Amino acid sequence: MKTSILEFSTFDDITLWTNLKEGDEKSFSMLFERYYADLVSYGNSLSPFHEKVQDCVQDVFTDIWVYRNSLQPSVVVKAYLLSSVRKRIARLHERDHIFRKATNTDSIAFLLEFSVEHELIDDDYATKEKVTYLNKLLNDLPPRQKEALYLRYHQGLTVEQIAEMLDVNYQSASNLLYRGLMALRKEWKGSFSLFLLLSSSSF
Amino acid sequence: MQKRNTYTEIEDFLSDESFQSWILLKIDNDGWEEWTLESRQRAKLVEDARHLLLAMKVPDSKLSTSDIRRALETTWSKIERKENQSNLSENSDSRFLRKCFFTGVAATLVFGLISVWFYKNNFQTDNKVVTYKELIDENSEGLVEQTNNSDKPQIITLSDGSSVLLQPNSKLSYPKIFTGNERKVYLSGEGFFEISKNPKKPFYVYANEIVTKVVGTSFRVKAYSDQPDVEVLVRTGKVKVRSNEMISKSDHEEIVLLPNQALRFVRNDLKFNKITNITEDVELAQSVGNIEQLSFEFSDIPVSQIFQTIEQAYLVDIDYPKDKLKDCHLTTSLSDQPLTEKLKIVCKSIGNNTSFEMNGNQITITSEGCN
């Protein structure tokens, strides 16, 4: 969804990754420019300390270059990067709350609030209302469901990748997504018909 | 794009990148708009999916391209620092190890040196200064001790005929009669030894830390207990000098001295210094006594002059019948002979009826005249 994706689309991730492993600085820089902003915004959704998130993302890239020889040759680069950032931020939390014994990434909550693409809604008022209502429902979902949705629909990860990232099995990841949407749809179907009823009655 | 024909759930659309870009970026490369309008059922699904996507907006990252470039630069410098750091830590690891190793070696060396020094020091303080008294105590033969407290050298004649000219403030201990296969005497101070020849019974002079072994010869030993050096100076014959077993059992180094060679033993560091030319050594050259300067090579010399030489050499008084022997001349070599041998030779040379008697420094010659 970032324009930068289109800029470098001539090289796919895995080509750049392979070159990077060979020590190609240009490929490293291209991957960095391709994913940096995405990773920062994901990081920001995990940590309230935004000033530290960029540091974390840069550290992830630093390690990738420094330890490029021991990198896995075949990875889904984006999933790898997102996962690395997540771990890095979890570690940041660990360090900051050393007495809380937060040892795994479960402890980090997805803080992001979804918002509404107002500029894109050139529809009628009812649609705007509907979208606003949906947004509210989405934001009321438990953080892990929200994060699963985010990773699925914003970062384009597969269910497997999400399961791996969130350190759960495939079924759990799938459930996270499904339950999120199910709850959403149930809510929205019932209340939307009511909403429609109300709105139609107002006409 | 025929995949989308099988879509039955909102999720199917949500995860479709092409659909996402049509909704969110308004880039419709795949004709979504037309495709949606193909079916009313489809239009409803697409509408729901669209609404959901629109409700799921994620705040755009506020990072500009230049922000990203700056971040990239920062990352490269982080990489540089990290690589240097890991190199450094590798280096410092090995440097640390090396340092440890050398520290260990140094410590071991220091410890070793201290041990050696301590051992030597202790060992040597016990034995370094071998005193005359210790030497005497070692011997169980029942020694006679002669001390020269006068200001003149004193002649001592031993049971084997050897003579020792003992200098003032010196002591000599010796058995009244030499028994066994060795002749051992103990000296403190300075003495000039003239040893009667007997290859079967080597003669040993124990003087402080050194032992001088001779078979028959003349030499001087200077071994004052309060002086730093022990000296042996050889006039005739051959002597062997070694250090006393009491200081070094293993060190059987022997130094052979020939006539007019000398040896100085430095007591502090137990070192032998051989002096091959005694005239070049100021100390030795100055300390040469009468006996060593005098020549005992006589050719057609009046007996009176020979006795005078002996008197000067041994600082003795010789009483002889001057009238009876006034015309007697002798050609003889008395070098390398102890005093008694000298006297014997002289007496024999004068005539059969000539004899001598020795009582301390007093020598009395009885003679009826030369042949």
Instruction: Please spell the DSSP secondary structure of B121-144, one letter per residue.
Output: HHHHHHHSS--HHHHHHH--S-EE
Residues of chain B contacting A, Cβ within 8 Å: 10-11, 14-15, 17, 20-21, 23-26, 51-61, 63, 68-69, 71-72, 74-75, 78-79, 82-83, 86
Grouping H, G, I as helix, E, B as strand and the rest as coil, residue A102 is coil
In whole angstroms, give the CA distance from residue B248 to residue B242. Answer: 10
Per run of 10 residues, the mean pLDDT along chain B (length 371 residues) is 76 82 82 83 82 81 84 90 73 60 73 68 52 69 82 85 86 85 86 83 84 79 80 81 68 75 79 76 70 80 88 86 85 81 85 82 85 68
Residues in chain B with CB shorter than 8 Å from the CB of A114 are 55-58
Tell me which residue in A29, A37, A62 faces B82 most closely, judged by beta carbons. Answer: A62
What is the CB neighbour count within 10 angstroms for residue B214? Answer: 25
pLDDT, tens digit only, all 203 positions of chain A: 444 444 445 678 888 999 999 888 889 999 999 999 889 988 888 887 777 889 999 999 999 999 888 888 888 898 999 999 988 888 877 666 554 544 455 566 787 888 887 777 766 777 788 888 888 888 888 888 888 888 888 888 888 888 888 888 888 888 888 777 777 777 666 555 554 444 444 43
Residues B60, A138: C-beta atoms closer than 8 Å: no
Question: Residue ranges per domain, chain A?
Answer: 3-107, 118-202
Token duo for residue B320: 């002889």
What is B133-289's CATH topology?
Jelly Rolls (2.60.120)
Output the pLDDT for position B125.
Answer: 45
Output the pLDDT for position A61.
Answer: 93
Q: Comparing C-alpha atoms, which of B168, B175, B174, B240 is closest to residue B210?
A: B240
Task: Let me know: does B234 contact B200? Beta carbons within 8 Å.
Answer: no
Residues in chain A with CB shorter than 8 Å from the CB of B75 are 32, 58, 61-62, 65
Output the pLDDT for position A191.
Answer: 55
Output the pLDDT for position B88.
Answer: 63
pTM: 0.47
Output the pLDDT for position A59.
Answer: 92
Output the pLDDT for position A201.
Answer: 42
CB proximity list for A65: less than 8 A, separation 6 or greater: A20, A28, B75, B79
Domain B294-366, CATH class in plain words: alpha beta
ipTM over 0.95: no
- Chain B closest CA to A103's CA: distance in Å? 25
Q: Kindly report the length of chain B.
A: 371
Token duo for residue A63: 């390690």
Domain A118-202, CATH class in plain words: mainly alpha
Domain A3-107, CATH class in plain words: mainly alpha
CB proximity list for A78: less than 8 A, separation 6 or greater: A13, A35, A38, A155, A156, A157
- Chain A closest CA to B96's CA: distance in Å? 24
